[in-house]
Amino acid sequence: MQLKSLCLLLTLCSACAAAEAENNTHLPPFILDRSQNVFFEDYSVSTFTQNLFGVKNSFGSKQVVLGGMAELDLQRWQGDTINTQDQAGTYTHDTALYFTQTTFDVMANLTPWVTLFTTASLSGIGQGGESGNYLNLPYAFLLFGNIEQCPLYVYGGYNAISFGKFNTSGGWDYPLSSTYFQPQVAPGVSLGYQNKKINVSTTVFTDQVLYENHMVYNLLYQNNDHLINYGFGLGYLTHLDLNTTGDVNVNRNISKENASMEAGNVADLNGNVGYKDFSLSAEWLRGSEKVLMNHAKPIAFGTTLTYSPTLNDTYYSAGLSYSKTIYLKDVSTMLAGQDQIPYASVGLQNSWAASVTRNFFGDWFYASLNAQRDVTYDNKKTYTFTVDGTAYL
């Protein structure tokens, strides 16, 4: 069945569902996401749609669900002098306090089959330059489907791209596999199938840097029981340009008229295994074309170990991650300090990151300690230490 036919079918189903008598008229018109133990801001970018499709029925069809967060970072970075692409031109050492970002989420189940989701984000608050006070709408899309009635779903609009997993040590750091190969949010259309263990999706999107069309195929399998969980994923993305990956805010400052960053078609393989509160994940990505003057096709991989117990009603999480790139010399990517604004011109070869997180004051405030070491392709090292505080709406 073609995509247009499925869209029409889901729309007709939503109209029928809207006509049914509902028993939830007593529900409050506005409700917070965390009232149902849901945190929109904790969802991974690459699996955002799947997560939303799985939890949207936790809320009534006459409710507007509000979410969001505000994040502060105290940072210290030090190490070798690194050439960057920002106006200062070099990156050495400093200490700074940042109001990193604030977001506001709105979700509404217009009918049991149609969900509207949108987010407004302001990042680099109070910072100068083009990357400061950056306002954007990372999410603005309609999701058609009802997982309790049918495993198929369709979304259309501005959304994260379902490709890969890109796990981190905590809520702050980004593995090099993400900064080099994760596509930025973009307008697109996706058709997916999801049940309790499997998600399969096909997405067509247009990147917002070069305005090229891309096709993504993605499969995720996850099996969870009381003690053991395991899963794997496969992904394929067509003609990815590395100018269209990473963070949309800092990446927009890089000139797009320079040499092509075309990495060709990108394959992704990821897997994870967990026992009780422990989890180990790994991911490997490879492009099909050489980039710049590198001698072979680009590769990035990462692995993450986490331990996340709950002790005396307090949530704790500790994570350690390592990521590495091969044949990506002179392909710039962001450094950890200055709140992840500058880009290292020569590129990053490997990165270690560690974090410890716990909640305070119930479930609305989380604090974490983070440490990261990055090594460039010319063997220069930088160390970043961050105290991160995140308050949820």
Out of 29-33, 103-107, 299-303, pick the least confident. Answer: 29-33
Model confidence pLDDT, tens digit, residues 101-127:
999 999 999 999 999 999 999 988 888
Does residue 86 have a pLDDT over 80? Answer: no
Out of 2-11, 17-26, 196-205, 289-298, pick the least confident. Answer: 2-11
Per-residue model confidence (pLDDT) at position 260: 75
CB distance 293 to 301 below 8 Å: no
**Nearest partner of 282 among 271, 268, 273, judged by Cα:** 271
Does residue 360 have a pLDDT over 60? Answer: yes
Model confidence pLDDT, tens digit, residues 169-200:
887 888 999 999 999 999 999 999 999 999 99
**Distance in Å from the first CA to the final CA of the chain:** 41
CB distance 178 to 165 below 8 Å: no
d(CA 214, CA 181): 14
**What average pLDDT does the chain have?**
88
Per-residue model confidence (pLDDT) at position 362: 83
Does residue 363 have a pLDDT over 50? Answer: yes
Per-residue model confidence (pLDDT) at position 12: 41
d(CA 103, CA 241): 28
CB distance 356 to 371 below 8 Å: no
Model confidence pLDDT, tens digit, residues 261-270:
899 999 999 9
Out of 148-157, 256-265, 302-311, pick the least confident. Answer: 256-265
Per-residue model confidence (pLDDT) at position 250: 58
Decide which of 125 and 253 is more confident: 125
Give the count of beta carbons closer than 10 Å to the beta carbon of residue 197: 11
What pairing do the DSSP bridges indicate for beta strands 343-344 and 348-360?
unpaired
- pLDDT bin (cut points 50, 70, 90) of residue 90 is confident
63-76 mean pLDDT: 95
Does residue 251 have a pLDDT over 60? Answer: no
Out of 23-32, 291-300, 311-320, 330-339, pick the least confident. Answer: 23-32
Model confidence pLDDT, tens digit, residues 235-248:
999 999 998 998 77
CA angle 349, 289, 302 (to 5 degrees): 35
Decide which of 308 and 260 is more confident: 308
